[in-house]
Amino acid sequence: MLAGRGGRKIRPPRRGLHGDEIDFENTWGIIASAFREIHTKNASKLSYEELYRHAYRIVLKKKGEDLYRRVRNFEHDWLSNEVRGTIHALLTPGLLANSQSIGGTTANERRFAGERFMKGLKQAWQDHQVCMSMLADVLMYMDRVYCADHRRPSIYSAAMVLFRDDILRSDPSDHSDMDVLSILNHVILEQIRMERDGDVIDKHLIKDCIYMLEGLYDSEIEAEEQRLYVTSFEEDFLASSREFYMAESELMLRESDAGAYCRHARRRIFEEQDRCRSTLSETTTLKIEKVVEDELIKNRIHELIEMESGVRYMIDNDLLEELSLIYELNARVDNKKAELTRAIQKRVVEMGTDVNSAAIVASQAAQPLSEGPDKGKAPVEKNLNQQTIAAIKWVEDVLQLKDKFDKIWKVSFDSDQPLQTALTRSFADFINASSFPRSSEYISLFIDENMKKGIKGKTENEIDLVLEKAIILLRYVQDKDLFERYYKKHLCRRLLMNKSISNDVEKQMISRMKIELGNNFTMKLEAMFKDMTISEELTAGYKTHIAQLGDPDPKRIELAINVLTSMTWPLETMGSSGDNEEGKMLKCVFPSAIERIKKGFEKFYGEKHSGRTLTWLAAMGSADIKAVFPKVPQKDGTLKERRHELNVSTYGMVILLLFNDLPADEFITFEEIQARTNIPESDLVRNLQSLAVASKTRILIKDPMSKDIKPSDRFSFNEGFQGKFHRIKVGVVTSGNKVESDRERKETERKNDGSRGFCIEAAIVRIMKQRKELSHQQLVAETLNQLAPQFKPEVNMIKKRIESLIEREYLERIENAPIDSYRYLA
Amino acid sequence: MADQQTEYVTLVSSDGFEFKVLRSAACLAGAIKRMLDPTSNFAEAVSNRCVFENINGVVLEKVCEYLYYNEKHKESKDVPDMDIPPELCLELLMAADYLDV
């Protein structure tokens, strides 16, 4: 319609544009010769327009198919005849030889040959690329019209395929079945190997070759994973690397220590990353890293950690840097760091067990001495002291161990959370090891020791530190109830005997425990403090009461008293270590003077709190006695009367008062003393030992003189007693807190088991009351769960408790239940 | 002059008309662009002069006009239509196909 509107005709296209009928062969001849020029780099003489026009015309004349085929053949011929020869010429015998067997040529020669080969190949490749891009430019019209219409790959990619087939896949010689490509792979691998061994190689050259491989595809489909690099080289590379590192790791494990190994492994990983960046392809980075990690770390980590110079050695020698290396390596291959964790845990338990057994050995070293009952007091004392020292040493060792691992954890392990959990578990493991039942006692002893002596002259911060340490250990202890028992006992001694240095610190400790273990735990401990305060008030009250009575007794005896609530104080453990198992407490017979005061106080107390019974625990008390010794000749010949103030235990006082009314030359037998005072035998023996045997406080003379007290011994007052000081303290053997003897421990454990029984029963009843019905397994699990903060009961014990509750009709078995189940009976 | 990338290039028609065209504008045409590609180093690239044996002056003028028209309106919208004389249509189309515009 255009024509109609404009009134003008559309001019038929001029024939010139079409070109006339052309002679295909002629035109192709022109193009082919031009291509040859291009290949020999003489393009500047050629007119692009002319060539383009020829190609255009051919395509326009529907001869695209022919042109395409001809170009391909042309390139094929060119590559086969011209280029291939040059490349094959570069394959020197040396290069070929080493692809079959190494020998004859030195590494250096091989390297140069390899480089020459790669250079040639690279040159050919680059030339090919340039030429083909020019050809493709000239044949643009063909690409655009013919190739697009007929779904042919562009001439450029077709030519690339030709290069692959005619050059890389060509067989260079008759006696080798390797094609150029595999030789190239081989050469590159060898170069990389040289670099790994420390040689310098031409990275850029290799990189160029790698580019070539990346630019070519294995098949017609140009997909990422079809690149020659991936299909032919990468695999070889990974495989040869694996081989290399496998051999290397083996060698390294044999020849160097773990620290060096770690350093080396880390360096290798960095090197490989670097190599991928500078020499190979980035896409390989992850894969090769994996190979190195597998070979150098994953497959070796176990051996590495177990090496003589492995983790154990590092821990022992505080090689923090190496440890952090190991950590890093292990973290690379294993998120959970299982191997390292295992090794660390093992070491912790080992070291902990060492500490445990050291403590046991230390505490038993002196044991044999005390086994013989006739050895007397000194060795026993020494033995007990040694045990205490062992206990404190144990605590300190454990703390040291803890410090050590904390430091390692912080510095070397990047404060890794799972590792900390593992450490904690290991510590708990060895502290609660069944082979070492004393941890609770030892920790309590440690606190006791610190309360009595350790914190003297320390600043608040230091004290804090000590308390913190104790709490840390306490956290690990499973049987908290046992600890409570011991702590109560030790605290009791400290309070009653005024051994504690600072009440504030005591209270601080308790409040810390409260935070850590909860209210229940410290309730009784707090009650003990309360008793002490009340007692002080009571004593003061009694004093004013006596003063008001206005009975000026010249022989008046002052009384300070502690009234203790029997439920909260571990009085039974204070007694004479279970001697009075018959159940009746032997009542000590007090001398009349004392008895009077006792009555007075009972009356006073009865008035204040009616209905309460006081039980007097003579074993706990102490007394100050003023004693007058008759004149005896002094060194300078004068006679002098001596006055001493004797601080003795209550029993000691009772014994001494017996001698008050006795003529100087008479004696009393052991049996007589026992009969008149009713003091338990073991207490009596101990008191007499300190009064009659210990050289510094020999107020009584024993006949016959010997170190041990026998029932037939006779005692008389030592008139010739000489003391250096006015005030003399007569110690009694058990005055300090010592590690328990085995018998005592059994006793404690028995009692502890008893109270555990109640706890378990209470827990079971609580659970059943809530759940009404529950299977046996569930009940046991819940009970364990509920009691976990206090202690870990044995399943057997729980079973027994359940039996007992059934007997007492708190529970009943559900008949015909598929699994063992119980029902709560309200 | 040989290796230099001049700002203008010369396009020559079959009947001898010469057009000096801004290089960037000329390179819009795929064929011209390749022709002048310095890396391939054809004669045209060396001389910065392209002779088109099969395009006459009238058509080439229109082609140049289009090249500039395109250069001018490259980034704008609502471009006014370019005036194309109907009698040139067919020849222009063929030239465009040839030059890959």
To which H or E segment does residue B24 belong?
helix B23-26
From A2, A53, A137, residue closest to B54, measured CB to CB: A53
CB contact under 8 A, A3 and B86: yes
Residue A378 has pLDDT above 60, yes or no: no
Q: Residue A4: what pLDDT?
A: 42
Over the stretch A287-307, which tens digit does the pLDDT of each residue have? 888 888 787 777 777 777 777
By the CB < 8 Å criterion, does A53 face chain B? Answer: yes
**Residue boundaries of the structural domains of chain A:** 18-216, 347-517, 575-740, 742-824
By the CB < 8 Å criterion, does B38 face chain A? Answer: no
Task: Please choose, from the candidates A138, A251, A379, the residue with its C-alpha nearest in 3D space to the C-alpha of residue B37.
Answer: A138
Instruction: Report yes or no: A411 and A324 within 8 Å, Cβ to Cβ.
Output: yes
Q: Residue A638: what pLDDT?
A: 60
Over the stretch A122-179, which tens digit does the pLDDT of each residue have? 888 888 888 888 888 888 888 888 887 788 788 888 888 888 877 777 766 655 566 7
DSSP A662: S
Residue A711 has pLDDT above 60, yes or no: yes
CATH topology of domain A742-824: Arc Repressor Mutant, subunit A (1.10.10)
Among A109-123, A194-208, A664-678, B51-65, the minimum mean pLDDT is found in A664-678
d(CA A507, CA A465): 15
From B34, B53, B94, residue closest to A137, measured CB to CB: B34
The winner for highest mean pLDDT among A72-86, A354-368, A370-384, A593-607 is: A72-86
CB contact under 8 A, B42 and A133: no
By the CB < 8 Å criterion, does B53 face chain A? Answer: yes
Residue A633 has pLDDT above 60, yes or no: no
Query: Which amino acid, residue A750?
Result: R
CB contact under 8 A, A10 and B86: yes
Distance from CA of A34 to the nearest CA of B (A): 11
Distance from CA of A130 to the nearest CA of B (A): 7
Q: Which residue has the higher pLDDT, A709 or A3?
A: A709
Mean pLDDT of B67-92: 80
CB contact under 8 A, B91 and A13: yes
Residue B30: closest CA among chain A residues belongs to which residue?
Answer: A140
Residue B23 lies in a domain: yes
Mean pLDDT of A599-628: 70
Averaged pLDDT of chain B:
81
CB contact under 8 A, A48 and B52: no
Q: Residue A558: what pLDDT?
A: 64
Mean pLDDT of A20-30: 74
CB contact under 8 A, B52 and A49: yes
By the CB < 8 Å criterion, does B84 face chain A? Answer: no
d(CA A597, CA A599): 5
CB contact under 8 A, B14 and A49: no
Q: Residue B88: what pLDDT?
A: 82
Residue B3 lies in a domain: no
Nearest-10 Cα torsion for A134, A136, A141, A147 = 180
By the CB < 8 Å criterion, does A141 face chain B? Answer: yes
By the CB < 8 Å criterion, does A134 face chain B? Answer: yes
- Residue A100 pLDDT grade (very low, low, confident, very high; cuts 50, 70, 90): very low
CB contact under 8 A, B100 and A49: no
Q: Residue A338: what pLDDT?
A: 73
By the CB < 8 Å criterion, does B27 face chain A? Answer: no
By the CB < 8 Å criterion, does B6 face chain A? Answer: no
Mean pLDDT of A492-506: 72
CB contact under 8 A, A17 and B89: no
Query: Which amino acid, residue B15?
Result: D
Distance from CA of A11 to the nearest CA of B (A): 5
**Chain A environment of B35 (Cβ under 8 Å):** 48-49, 52
Residue A369 has pLDDT above 50, yes or no: no
Q: Which residue has the higher pLDDT, A664 or A512?
A: A512
d(CA A709, CA A670): 8
From A13, A47, A144, residue closest to B42, measured CB to CB: A47
A533's tokens: 């305060």
Instruction: Report yes or no: A352 and A398 within 8 Å, Cβ to Cβ.
Output: yes
Residue B2 has pLDDT above 60, yes or no: no
By the CB < 8 Å criterion, does B82 face chain A? Answer: no
Distance from CA of A58 to the nearest CA of B (A): 13
Task: Please choose, from the candidates A246, A175, A174, A172, the residue with its C-alpha nearest in 3D space to the C-alpha of residue A187.
Answer: A172
Q: Return the half-sphere exposure (C-beta side, CA atoms, 13 A cut-off) of residue A499.
A: 18
Residue A376 has pLDDT above 50, yes or no: no
Mean pLDDT of A480-501: 74
Percent of chain A with pLDDT over 90: 0
**Chain A environment of B46 (Cβ under 8 Å):** 44
Among A216-220, A274-278, B53-57, the minimum mean pLDDT is found in A216-220
For residue B62, the domain's CATH number is 3.30.710.10
Mean pLDDT of A65-84: 82
Q: Which residue has the higher pLDDT, A800 or A707?
A: A800
Residue A240 to residues A246, A563, B94: CA-CA distances in angstroms? 10, 85, 58
Distance from CA of B37 to the nearest CA of A (A): 9
Averaged pLDDT of chain A:
73
Residue A247 has pLDDT above 80, yes or no: yes
From A17, A130, A137, residue closest to B94, measured CB to CB: A17
Architecture of A575-740 per CATH? 2-Layer Sandwich (3.30)
Over the stretch A751-765, which tens digit does the pLDDT of each residue have? 777 777 788 888 888
Residue A7 has pLDDT above 70, yes or no: no
Residue B12: closest CA among chain A residues belongs to which residue?
Answer: A49
By the CB < 8 Å criterion, does A62 face chain B? Answer: no
Q: Is A615 exposed, middle or buried (0-12, 13-18, 19+ CB in 10 A)?
A: exposed
Residues 457-516 of A with CB under 8 A from B: none
DSSP A452: I
- Residue A180 pLDDT grade (very low, low, confident, very high; cuts 50, 70, 90): confident
Residue B100: closest CA among chain A residues belongs to which residue?
Answer: A141
- Residue A327 pLDDT grade (very low, low, confident, very high; cuts 50, 70, 90): confident
CB contact under 8 A, B40 and A49: no
Residue B52: closest CA among chain A residues belongs to which residue?
Answer: A49
Task: Please choose, from the candidates A358, A337, A346, A338, the residue with its C-alpha nearest in 3D space to the C-alpha of residue A315.
Answer: A346
- Residue A584 pLDDT grade (very low, low, confident, very high; cuts 50, 70, 90): very low
Mean pLDDT of B26-32: 83
User: What is the three-class DSSP state of A701?
Assistant: strand
Q: Across the A/B interface, how many CB contacts are shorter than 8 Å?
A: 88
Percent of chain A with pLDDT over 70: 74
**Chain A environment of B100 (Cβ under 8 Å):** 140-141, 144
Q: Residue A101: what pLDDT?
A: 44
By the CB < 8 Å criterion, does A9 face chain B? Answer: yes
By the CB < 8 Å criterion, does B98 face chain A? Answer: yes
Query: Which amino acid, residue A470?
Result: A
Residue B38: closest CA among chain A residues belongs to which residue?
Answer: A44
Mean pLDDT of A644-671: 73
Among A8-22, A190-204, A478-492, A588-602, the minimum mean pLDDT is found in A8-22
- Residue A581 pLDDT grade (very low, low, confident, very high; cuts 50, 70, 90): very low
Q: Residue A373: what pLDDT?
A: 39
From A12, A49, A130, residue closest to B35, measured CB to CB: A49
Q: Which residue has the higher pLDDT, A433 or A123?
A: A123
Residue B15: closest CA among chain A residues belongs to which residue?
Answer: A16
Q: Residue A223: what pLDDT?
A: 67
Architecture of A18-216 per CATH? Up-down Bundle (1.20)
Structural domain count of chain B: 1
CB contact under 8 A, B43 and A44: yes
* Domain encompassing residue B70: 8-99
Residue A87 has pLDDT above 50, yes or no: yes
Task: Please choose, from the candidates A567, A572, A505, A507, the residue with its C-alpha nearest in 3D space to the C-alpha of residue A533.
Answer: A507
Q: Residue A749: what pLDDT?
A: 72
Q: Residue A375: what pLDDT?
A: 37
From A2, A8, A43, residue closest to B41, measured CB to CB: A43
Residue A44 has pLDDT above 60, yes or no: yes
Over the stretch A585-605, which tens digit does the pLDDT of each residue have? 445 667 776 777 777 777 777
Distance from CA of B70 to the nearest CA of A (A): 22
**Chain A environment of B42 (Cβ under 8 Å):** 43-44, 46-48, 134
Q: Residue A157: what pLDDT?
A: 81
CB contact under 8 A, A47 and B46: no
Distance from CA of B75 to the nearest CA of A (A): 26
